[in-house]
Amino acid sequence: MPSLPILAVLITYGMVLFAIGWWARRESQSVAGYYVAGKQLPSWVIAFSSNATGESAWLLLGLTGMGYAVGVHAFWVILGEVLGVALGWTMVALPFKAYADRYNAITVPDYLEQRFRDRSHVFRWLGLIIVFSMVTAYTAAQLTATGKAFNSFVGTTYEAGVILGAVIILYYTAVGGFKAVAYSDVLQGVLMLLGLAALPFVGFAAAGGWTTVMDGLRTADPALLKPMGSFGMSTAGVVSAVGFVAIGFAFLGAPQLLTRWIAARDRKEIVDGGFIAVLCVIVFDIGAVFAGMAGRVLFPGLLDPETILPSMTAELMPAIFTGVFLVIVLAASMSTVDSLLILVSSSIARDVVQKIFRPDLAERTVALIGKLATVVIGIGAVAFAIGEVRVIFWFVLFAWSGLASAFTPVVLCSLFWKRTTRGGAIAGMVTGFTTAVLWVILFKERFYDLYEMIPGFAAGFIATVAVSLMTAPPGQDILDEFEEIRHAI
């Protein structure tokens, strides 16, 4: 039976999320209101929301677990994430926002369809297939984290934890829409920031300080203090390091992150938000890896490294702080699940129902369809999550890479290479996505476990460029528009 302080913190957190959903409900009656908060979000909201969504329970449980398992080698993840977030906010966000505002786009397929003058809705259908398949897996992995968190902190069954977390998420997401998602992400992002700033100090202090931790890691396994880990300076070591760095480059074009820039009030908010986003990701990632390294010394021999954060908080902190860290783990998961549900819901209600089949439907009706889709998809993800307890780190990375490989090469080419054509963009989406998926299924084990985003990105870029060069150049109106946007930013 969990202590009263843990229950008090948990209940308070749930009540706050319910309140945010209720507060944001009025904004969710229109399509733009439900999916991009009426495009009125300030810089600090989009910064925290973007990072909280991109990091997820992968950060709190997965990356701390990687710090526990591989030590210094996990710092390659930090390098990649900092580079990815910095380049995304400084290079991609402004031109993408300029195009999105010009088109009055609400979804990424809105942008792609108008950017390439696609009248056959190919981008919308592709987007639905890709988003639906990856988001179901991605959401299930996040709900797996809620199940693990409730089980570790509170002592509920894994299945009960999954269901309880899903109920809270589905309420505020369906009722409050993207505005509730974004502002709950701020709360969740701040909690993650504070928790990951504090936990490494607690862990190192409990272990006896920096020198003691380093000596303990060296005694446990000298490879824990080597940049290339147990692989050493070998092909496998380089491939592993490059794969970890590549994780961060999904921040350049994953659709759930692009939506944050669409929802910004204006381009000035993006400029201001970039600094906050980069600072947060540095604290997030360094804190997670150092916490895992301290945990390796304090709690050697854990069967599941992804339980190191719950183990540290339960053993090293008073009950009230254990409750806070339970909330932080839940926050990391919820901040991603809510965004993923909104993403796939928009693919169904906006991209297919409204834009392809029923453009005459009232805004409130489309928004209602989106809310129902959110609930149905969430229930499906719950069933998927209950069926199997997964390793969060690798399962999230698979879904993360599938989405990023489909969208990022095409979005980057569309923003920075005016010769990109409709055919090239379609080929890039299909090729990038299928390559990432097939790499995991057929080739990964035979190529030093090379992270699937790398071949996915490479194939997506090559297909986009090759097919664009083999097809007729874009019309003059598209070329003129490209130059206008370039000069405007």
pLDDT of residue 46: 92
Q: What 8-state DSSP symbol labels residue 474?
A: P
In a domain, 362, yes or no: yes
Q: What residues contact residue 21 under an 8 Å CB cut-off, 6+ apart?
A: 171, 172, 173, 175, 176, 180, 184
Q: Would the pTM of this model clear 0.85, i.e. be above it?
A: yes
Q: Which helix (H) or strand (E) holds 15?
A: helix 4-23
Q: What are phi and psi of 264, to 5 degrees?
A: -65, 150
In a domain, 189, yes or no: yes
Token pair of 421 as six digits:
């054509």
Q: Which residue has the tokens 């999916």?
A: 35
Neighbours of 63 (CB within 10 A): 30
Quote the CA–CA distance of 70 and 221 in Å, as a whole number. 9
In a domain, 423, yes or no: no
In a domain, 463, yes or no: no
pLDDT of residue 1: 53
- Angle among Cα 330, 260, 81 to the nearest 5 degrees reads 65
**CATH, residue 260:** 1.20.1730.10
Q: Which residue has the tokens 């932080």?
A: 328
Count of positions (residues) in the chain: 489
Quote the CA–CA distance of 316 and 225 in Å, as a whole number. 24
Give me the number of domains the chain comprises.
1
Token pair of 220 as six digits:
């446990």
| C-alpha pair distances (Å), 43 with each of 260, 269, 274, 277, 322 | 10, 4, 8, 10, 31
**Spans of the chain below 70 pLDDT:** 1-3, 56-58, 152, 387-397
Q: What 8-state DSSP symbol labels residue 233?
A: S
Q: How far apart are the first and last CA of the chain?
A: 57
pLDDT of residue 137: 73
Nearest to 144 by CA among 312, 383, 453, 437: 383
In a domain, 489, yes or no: no
Nearest to 129 by CA among 352, 455, 327: 352
Neighbours of 60 (CB within 10 A): 31
In a domain, 399, yes or no: no
pLDDT of residue 184: 86
Say which amino acid occupies 51.
N
In a domain, 398, yes or no: no
pLDDT of residue 405: 93
- Angle among Cα 334, 338, 344 to the nearest 5 degrees reads 145
Please answer whether residues 47 and 277 qualify as being in contact, where contact means their C-beta atoms are separated by less than 8 angstroms: yes
In a domain, 27, yes or no: yes
Domain encompassing residue 252: 4-392
Please answer whether residues 129 and 407 qualify as being in contact, where contact means their C-beta atoms are separated by less than 8 angstroms: no
Please answer whether residues 464 and 409 qualify as being in contact, where contact means their C-beta atoms are separated by less than 8 angstroms: yes
Q: Which helix (H) or strand (E) holds 254?
A: none
Please answer whether residues 392 and 90 qualify as being in contact, where contact means their C-beta atoms are separated by less than 8 angstroms: no
* CB contact burial 306-315 (16+ within 10 A = b; e otherwise): bbbbbbbbbe
